[in-house]
Every structure is written in C-alpha cells, then in structure tokens.
Structure 1
Amino acid sequence: MNAEFDHFAAWLATPLGRYVALSEAAWFERAAVDLFGYKAVQLELPQLDCLRSNRMPWRLQAGEAAGTQLKCTAHELPFDEQSLDLIALPHVLDFSPDPHAVLRECQRVLRPEGRLLITGFNPWSLWGLRRLKPNQDMPWKGNFVALPKLKDWLAELDLQSVNDEHLCYRPPIQRAGWLEKSRFFDQAGDRLWPAGGGVYCLEVVKRVRGMHVIEPQWRTVTVNQNAAVVVEKMRQQASKDRCK
C-alpha cells in the first residue's frame, strides 16, 4: 500500500487532485474541530492534514506512505485496545487490499464513543464511470467502496454513521480551465443530485451495546386466612407476656 499511496499523493498535485484535496481539507476542518478527547491519529496521506483543526493534545500521522511519523500498516495498528479517540481515514479504504480488516482494526483501538472520519471515491458518480475505462491509472484503479456497502460493514462492527456528505460534483477532467468553468456543478449537484458527488465523507461513532437491566419478577402472595388468625393470636399473646 506504500507505493499506491505515494502515487495517489502525487496525483493530488494535479489540477483534479488539488480540487479533491481542497474540498476534503475543508470537510475535515469542519468535521474535526469540535471532536474532543486526548488521542487522534491520521492513517496515511500526510500531504492532507486531516487533523489540523482538531484540538486534541496528542495527534499523530501513521501508515506506510512516505512522510508519515509512525510506520505501520492500516490493518495492524501498534495501539492498545480502546486507546484512541479519533481516527481519520483519507481514502485509506480505497487503496487498502483489505478495507474490512482496516475497519476491524479501527474498531479495536477506538474508545467507546470514539470517532472515525472517512473519505472515499463514490462509484455511483461520474467519477465512478470514469474508472470503467480500460488501462486506468491512479486513482481510478482503487477499490471505490460503495457507501451502502461501507455502512453495512460499519454496522457489523457496532460503528454507526452519524453524518455523511458528498463533495466534488465537477466532471473528472484534468484541465484547470474546465474545472474552473464547471464550478456551478458543486452548487447544483448538492441540490439536484446530493448522492452523486465524486467523493463521500462519513463521520462514524463507535457505539457500545448497553447492558440489559433484568427487573425482579414480583408476584402476589395470597395469605391463608387460618395462618393470619394464628399470627394474630401469637401477637396478642406476646403483648400479654410483656405486660406481666
């Protein structure tokens, strides 16, 4: 995955790549600014600082890509169970050989109520159609995991989507002039085709299943009338004995 992320990082320097990077940077800035905790980690793609707006005191960039602070694989993280409050995954699932394993590992290291911030390419968009052409290069040969499928994977791991957005409605053309002229696609697409952006963004929370409180099974006890008479006589006799 090292080489693929390095190639993807190089693609981000192209006109279309810069459009993606700027759009996602704005989303990560909005999504991460009000997330609180102590430890936050970004996996891969250090060229895009996903944690810039976050105020957690311990922030780290990890992964195999060049420039990361901690070398590791996304499906085998060197962190204890339930030790992180926030994990950012910028296109990690797109270029991982086993994206489901990445999610399982994130679920392991996240604290209860910890957050995942995920971005990925949307296969149900003009960008998804672009990847159907033969002999595609980066980034069109990525996984392009569909959002409904991703949400199913998350649900299996008790990871709940709390917010999703789509970005990048402009046609995937590597010409700066055409991209600039098609700016109106972003405003129109968000209103007319909200799920058709080339990139989806997902905020996810780790839920912990609550305990089921077992209430006592109260039952009505019928007092035998004869037994009640005997008890009353014993009470009266005890009272007489105290008066002697």
Structure 2
Amino acid sequence: MKSARIAQRSKMPDSWEDIPWGEYYRIALNQQLQPWWPKIFGFHLLKIGQLSLQIDTQASLITHQFSMNIAGSNCQLLGDPNEMPFEDKSIDACLLIQQLSYSTNPHWLLREADRVLVDDGWLILSNFNPFSLLGLGKCIPLLRKRQPYRSHMFSTWRQLDWLSLLNYEVLQRQSFQIIPWINPDHFINRNLQFAGCINLIIARKRTLPVDANTHKIYANPHENR
C-alpha cells in the first residue's frame, strides 16, 4: 500500500466560505447526507475539524453531538485529531469532512478514528476528488497554491483500500458537484456525478471479516437496510 504520509501540513480552512464555491460544496454535502441521519443511531456523534462542524446534523437521532479541532473558537473541545482524548470504542459516529485532505498522516488519522469508534460505529468521510475539475486545477501553477487546490486529494479507490484494511463495510460511495460554481440542484450536478468535485464515503466498523463476494455498496441510501 502506497504511503500517504505528508511532509508538510496544508492549513485547514476556518470555514467553507474560505474555499471558492465552498458554500455550494457544503450544501451538496448536506443534501447527500440528509437521508442517512435517521439511519445512524447511538449516543455520541463526533465532528472533527471546522468543516465537519458546519455540516447540518439536526436530522440525526444522536442527541449528544460535539466537535473537536486542533484550534478554533467555536469547537467544544480543543485537541489533536491524531491523539484523541477518548477511550477506545466510545464514539458511535465520526464525521471526517475533508480532514484527510489536510492531514499530515491520513493513515494515522483513520486508525485513531477507528480506535474511538464502537463496533458497528459509523465513519463518514468526504474529500476533494482528484479526477474532477478541482483535480485539473492542481496542474495549473497559479492555482495549486490556493484553496482548495493546495489540499491533498485522494481517489475513492485509495480510500476504499485503507478502509478495507481496517475491516469497514462501505455502504455508500459517491461523487457529486461536478461543476463547482453552479447550484447543487442544477441539472448537470444532479444527474452527472461520475466526476464530481467531492467524494463521499459512508462506512461501518465491522468486527467480523467482510466477505468481498457478498459485500454490497449502496449507491442510493434509500436501498440501505
């Protein structure tokens, strides 16, 4: 497996407004996640990072929702996501929105999230898609030092490989918001999602090995049992 350790950390934006067309990304993520919140049960929902904090989780059935970040004034808890101050298997759902893109060690961050998640806990990941208009922007010298092009973009298949090593069952994987600067409800963004700028993965931590022959990835959340 190719290492994803990053020598230098790219600064995490303080809000979606600090990213060009970031509000469109946030709206699109909220739309994709909305059908899933009634399916996610538990006692504790952890939002890691400023961008996770701004995701709408009001429809979630988990009443205790709190956020953590390495810095910031609007988080309930200040701490390093790579060294979370929680006991093993104490969190029911973990929201990692764009966190891998700005982490110096994405593998370690995933393992730390896995450590604190209960068995059958929920892991929600989103990242910028390298095979999209944003990915093309990284090839342009004038853009690559700006947000969000300066972030690290990992393909869906690479993230699925990491999750399989941790024995996660992927319930949904999807790309959306193919054109960043138009509304998520536009015809193109609603119907052409194969090269969307945002990748979303929803997975559950399993204690028994997941059988690849019977494993089903749900492209539509309404299909989930």
Structure 1: 5+ residue runs without aligned partners?
Answer: 174-178, 211-244
Higher mean C-alpha displacement, 46-55 vs 22-31? 46-55
How far apart are the structure 2 equivalents of 1:7 and 1:138? Answer: 12
Higher mean C-alpha displacement, 54-63 vs 113-122? 54-63
Over the matched positions of the two proteins, sequence identity in percent amounts to: 22
2:60 corresponds to 1:57: no
How far apart are the structure 2 equivalents of 1:98 and 1:50? Answer: 27
How far apart are the structure 2 equivalents of 1:187 and 1:57? Answer: 31
Structure 1 vs Structure 2 CA RMSD: 2.2
Which of 88, 92, 104 is 2:111 aligned to? Answer: 104
Give secondary structure in 2 for the equivalent of 1:205: strand
2:45 corresponds to 1:40: yes
**How far 1:8 moved relative to its partner?**
5.4
2:170 corresponds to 1:186: no
How far apart are the structure 2 equivalents of 1:76 and 1:48? Answer: 22
How far apart are the structure 1 equivalents of 2:162 and 2:132? Answer: 21
Q: Residues 96-135 of structure 1 correspond to what in structure 2 (within 5 A)?
A: 96-135=103-142
Query: Match of 1:207?
Result: 206
Give secondary structure in 2 for the equivalent of 1:5: coil
**How far 1:76 moved relative to its partner?**
1.1
Query: Match of 2:212?
Result: none
Structure-2 change in CA distance of 1:62 and 1:101 (3 Å): same
Structure-2 change in CA distance of 1:188 and 1:38 (3 Å): closer
Give the TM-score of the pair, scaled to structure 1.
0.74
Which structure has the greater CA radius of gyration? 1
Q: Residues 1-244 of structure 1 correspond to what in structure 2 (within 5 A)?
A: 4-7=11-14, 9-12=16-19, 14=20, 16-45=21-50, 48-66=54-72, 67-135=74-142, 136=144, 137-170=146-179, 172-173=180-181, 179=182, 183-190=186-193, 194=194, 196-209=195-208
Structure-2 change in CA distance of 1:3 and 1:123 (3 Å): closer
Give the TM-score of the pair, scaled to structure 2.
0.80
How far apart are the structure 2 equivalents of 1:147 and 1:3? Answer: 20
Higher mean C-alpha displacement, 57-66 vs 46-55? 46-55
Deviations 1:140-160 (A, max 9, x none): 111111111111111111122
Structure-2 change in CA distance of 1:62 and 1:50 (3 Å): farther
Query: Match of 2:4?
Result: none
Structure-2 change in CA distance of 1:50 and 1:97 (3 Å): farther
More helix by share: 1
Structure-2 change in CA distance of 1:134 and 1:2 (3 Å): closer
The amino acid across from 1:115 in the alignment is W
How far apart are the structure 2 equivalents of 1:11 and 1:88? Answer: 20
Structure-2 change in CA distance of 1:148 and 1:35 (3 Å): same
How far apart are the structure 1 equivalents of 2:108 and 2:49? Answer: 15
Count of aligned positions: 197
The amino acid across from 1:168 in the alignment is Q
How far apart are the structure 2 equivalents of 1:91 and 1:113? Answer: 22
Structure 2: 5+ residue runs without aligned partners?
Answer: 1-7, 210-225
